[in-house]
Structures are given as C-alpha cells and as structure tokens.
Amino acid sequence: MLVIRAITLNDIDPLIEMARQVGSGMTTLKPDRAMLGERVETAVASFAQTIPPEERDYMFVMEDTSNGRLAGVCAIKAAVGLTEPFYNYRIGTLVHSSRELNVFTRMDTLYLSNDLTGSTELCSLFLMPEYRTGYNGKWLSKSRFLFMAQFQHLFTEKIIAEMRGYQAEDGTSPFYEGLGRHFFKMDFNHVDGLTALGKKSFIAELMPRQPLYVAYLPEDAQAVIGQVHRSTLPARKLLEQEGMHYEGYVDIFDAGPVLQGRVAELRAVRDSILATAEEGQPEGECEVTLVSNTKLDDFRMVLTQACDGGRKVALSVRELQLLHCQPGDPIRSLALNVRKNNG
C-alpha cells in the first residue's frame, strides 16, 4: 500500500535519488545534498514546531510500504520571500495613443515584481515514473490541501504555485533564450541551479527594472508566456480544480504561470469533514476519499473508499496502522474528485 507522510531525516538519500530524475526547471528540488539536507532538516523542525510558522517548509513523501521506496514528494512553504527575494514578472498593459494620427495601441509588458512576497507556496511536486498510475498523481497533489484544511491557521491568506514553464523537445526554454540569456549570459540550467541554492542577488543586479515590451521578444518566446511544461499540464488542471487560478504572474526565467488562490476558498477547506475513525468496512454509497490523521508532528494520509459525508469513517486494520490511528481518533476526509455540483 501507499501512504503519504511527513518527511524524516532518513528520507534524505532516497530524496536525492528522486531529485536526479526531476530534470531542469524545478528549482525547489535539485539533487544537491547540502541544499536538500538543509531543507529536510527545516521540514522536520516544521512538523515539530521548533521554528517560527513563517519559516516552515512542510515536505511530504509518498511511501510504498511494500518495499519502503519513496514514490513521490510534495511540499508547502509557509511564506516565501521573507528571507530572500521572491521575483516574478507581472504582465501589465501600457497604452500609446495619438488623436492627431488616430492611433491607439495597447502593449503587453513585463514588470519585475515582488508582489507575491509572503504568500504560502505549493511546490516540489514529483511522482516517480513507475508510480504514475491510477489516482497516485492526483492524490499526491491534493494531499497538501487536506493538510492545509486541518492546519489552516499555520498559513497565510494567499496561496501560490509556480508551474514549470514550457520547454522545447531539446530542453531549452524559448522564453529564456529570447530574454534572460541576453542579461545573464549563461545557460538556463546554470541560472536555475543558482536560484535553487538561494543565490538570487544576481537577479536584481542584472535584470532591468523598467517594463519590458512583450512585442520586442521573439515570437516563440511570446507564445510560451503563461504556458506550462507538457508534463506539468495535469498538475495545473488539478490545482485549478481545487480553487486556484492564473492572474497574470509568470516565472522570470521560463515564463511558467503562477497560480493563485485564497486558503479559505479552497475546496478542501470548504468541503473536507472532521470525522471519527472506526474499524470496519464502509457500507452504502462510497467514493474514493483522502483520509488523514490530525497530528501535525506525525501527519499521515491514505487513499480509501468512504461513504459520502459520513461523520464516522470505516477503515481497515491496515489503514488504521498506516495512519497511526486507533478507533475513535479524529481524522479528516475529503473526496478525491470534485463533485459536479461543486464546480
């Protein structure tokens, strides 16, 4: 069986192996032992509540209990940009007009922005290829929302997710080649690696502060603004189902879209149910359901069949063991799929 749980220090080595398969464009999951080791230590301290809430980085792993392998990873950063700059491009509009010549033009522009500083960020979502079957990807992505529903007080009002931007078949980024390379004079992967290590001062030093006209960029660079990497499209759709949307902010390197939402308006916050665990088999009309315990220091989640809206959730002995729960313990549940009447 699979279980999603809080990361531990024992997961560092398999996490590094997993990161080696991620590829370029995901700055929060690079196969760097020092960086990932520090991040896992921060995550462990986050679940233990030994560091301030705004500094926390909650990392979760999906474990295959049949062999002890890590199948996937995902994370929630409580607040971004408070200890190092957090940059995006905001897409704006400038109007140029002349009554004398009867000319009126609207021009899209890119503004270097720190507008999203302080937001809670969903990040580091990756599922190993051999586990990309059934509901695994959907479950892994949506697990973070159920955690936020249970511990809503730990997060800021606004939540964001930077999506990996479009890349050509050879791995190059048309947007970076059309814009960023002119200022940074280095390959995309090199720049991406520097930001992953927290070295971001060069962004402010080298990028122009004045608005950039989109029309000045090569056509292939213009075409990918706000577009996601082909492997990221399913993840974008899942986040949009949960209440997030695109509002005109993009990544400064590959122009991937930044999705935004409000924690209080997420489906998981609105529709999840605080219930009681009991041992047994579900009876009546059931649906695929996320079920988690309510323990911050030992957060765990399974995917099971549960009856619609029940205040008691019947779980097998094995599921109770995976959740580290006993009958009578509080649990939180959420239907995996969005119901049609909920949009």
Q: What's the pLDDT band for 320 if we cut at 50, 70, 90?
A: very high
Supply 300's token pair: 């765990």
pLDDT at 272: 94
Task: Determine contact, residues 54/171, Cβ cutoff 8 Å.
Answer: no
pLDDT at 25: 55
Q: What's the pLDDT band for 29 if we cut at 50, 70, 90?
A: confident
**What residue ranges in the chain does DSSP mark as E strands?**
2-6, 57-64, 69-77, 88-98, 103-113, 120-127, 158-162, 212-213, 245-250, 257-262, 273-279, 286-293, 300-307, 312-315, 330-335
Residue 228 DSSP label = B
Q: What is the mean pLDDT of residues 136-148?
A: 96
Helix (H, G, I), strand (E, B) or coil at 241: helix
Percent of the chain with pLDDT over 90: 70
pLDDT at 343: 43
Angle among Cα 14, 31, 50 to the nearest 5 degrees reads 70
Could you tell me which residues come within 8 angstroms of residue 119 by beta carbon, excluding any fewer than 6 positions away?
79, 80, 81, 156, 158, 159, 160, 260
pLDDT at 160: 97
pLDDT at 69: 95
Residue 78 DSSP label = S
135 pLDDT above the threshold of 80 = yes
pLDDT of 1-20, one tens digit each?
999 999 999 999 999 999 98
Alpha-carbon span 55 to 79, nearest angstrom: 7
CA dihedral 4, 8, 13, 17 (to 10 degrees): 30
Q: Label the pairing between strands 300-307 and 286-293.
A: antiparallel
Q: What is the mean pLDDT of residues 279-291?
A: 88
Residues with catalytic roles: 229
pLDDT of 173-215, one tens digit each?
999 999 888 888 888 777 766 665 555 566 767 777 789 999 9
pLDDT at 61: 98
Q: What is the mean pLDDT of residues 103-108?
A: 90
Q: What's the pLDDT band for 147 if we cut at 50, 70, 90?
A: very high
Q: CB under 8 Å, gap of 24 or more: what pairs does 136-140 form?
A: 136/2, 136/62, 136/71, 136/72, 137/72, 137/234, 137/235, 137/238, 138/238, 138/336, 139/4, 139/62, 139/290, 139/303, 139/336, 140/4, 140/62, 140/72, 140/74
Tell me the Cα Rg of the chain.
22
Task: Determine contact, residues 324/293, Cβ cutoff 8 Å.
Answer: yes
Q: What is the mean pLDDT of residues 113-129?
A: 94
Which residues are paired to 300 by β-bridges? 5
Helix (H, G, I), strand (E, B) or coil at 113: strand
pLDDT of 288-315, one tens digit each?
999 999 999 999 999 999 886 678 899 9
Supply 106's token pair: 């609207």
